[in-house]
Amino acid sequence: MRFEGRVAVVTGAAHGLGLDAARGFAREGARVLMVDRDPAGHEAAAALRAEGHDVRFRAADVTRAADVAAYVEAALEAWGAIHCFFNNAGIEGEVKPLVEQEEAVFDAVLAVNVKGVFLGLRHVLPVMRAQGQGAVVNTASTAGLVGSAGLSPYVASKQAVLGLTKSVAGEVAREGVRVNAICPGPTETRMIHSLEEQAARRGANDPAERYRAAIPMGRYCLPSEITAAVLFLCSEAASGITGAHLQVDGGRTACPMGSAMR
């Protein structure tokens, strides 16, 4: 029970990586505030409470400062602290060449993926600094490390997340607060299947197979594998790690050609 007596806040927690991480924190003993703009998070939190965990849900739009301040206050009112923060909410945008990308979509991707991360840090870090302890994990992506044709707004947003992570880590390191990022590769969630469908509509031949072929392990990662990395970075086992990013991508960025040469 690595997180017994600890409080974790998870954004984007109604589905996908956020939901799996919220479960992971709860089952490791944490009290968890799940945050999402999708009210489906209420049912997910209720299911965890039925297992005997201390979990609550707060509806919020991570792009709105007032909503972010409100979810931070909700955690403090409930439990008096925030020890772990999985700053995870994100959207993929559209698969199109840059010259076809709509300004509104670009703005939406940057608002959620960058401004949402910024606002989360802006409101959670003062709590952690006052406590003299805390661990933040921001969700970046392998797209934060390499380009991806057709996903320029998403790529730009995730590279910005890594810049925020490194800069902020240096600002709070001597105050007992660690800030790291995870870089998931393609993972078995709604997002990767949305990208497959968009690519197929644009004429790509079997995009799922092409995506998997570029991964040396030959498969998408599982949400539980991303959760394992998040819990590690938030745990005392990672007490000397800050300003870093951890790739969980089946070797995709280490060997971009994947299995194509075998």
User: Band of the pLDDT at 261, cuts 50, 70, 90?
Assistant: very low
Could you list the active site residues?
154
Check which CATH number belongs to the domain holding 207 and give it.
Answer: 3.40.50.720
Domain assignment present for residue 65? The answer is yes
Domain assignment present for residue 164? The answer is yes
Domain assignment present for residue 59? The answer is yes
Domain assignment present for residue 122? The answer is yes
Domain that holds residue 104: 7-248
How many angstroms separate the Cα of 167 from the Cα of each of 86, 142, 256?
A: 17, 19, 28
User: Band of the pLDDT at 25, cuts 50, 70, 90?
Assistant: very high
Whole-number Å distance between alpha carbons of 195 and 142: 15
Structural domains in the chain (count)? 1
Q: Are 85 and 124 in contact (CB under 8 A)?
A: yes
Domain assignment present for residue 256? The answer is no
Number of Cα atoms under 13 Å in the Cβ half of residue 11: 31
User: Band of the pLDDT at 243, cuts 50, 70, 90?
Assistant: very high
C-alpha angle 129-64-82 in degrees, rounded to nearest 5:
30
pLDDT, residue 140, reads 97
The mean pLDDT value for 101-118 works out to 97
pTM for the whole thing? 0.92
Nearest to 218 by CA among 182, 184, 249, 254: 249
pLDDT, residue 187, reads 79
Residue range 150-185, pLDDT digits in tens:
899 999 999 999 999 999 999 999 999 999 999 998
Average pLDDT, rounded, for the chain:
92
Q: Would the pLDDT of 207 be above 70?
A: no
The alpha helices in the chain, defined as continuous H runs, are 16-27, 41-50, 65-79, 103-110, 116-131, 152-172, 190-201, 207-213, 223-234
Whole-number Å distance between alpha carbons of 89 and 149: 22
Whole-number Å distance between alpha carbons of 23 and 28: 8
- Could you tell me if residue 199 is left (phi over 0), alpha (psi between -120 and 50 degrees) or otherwise beta? alpha
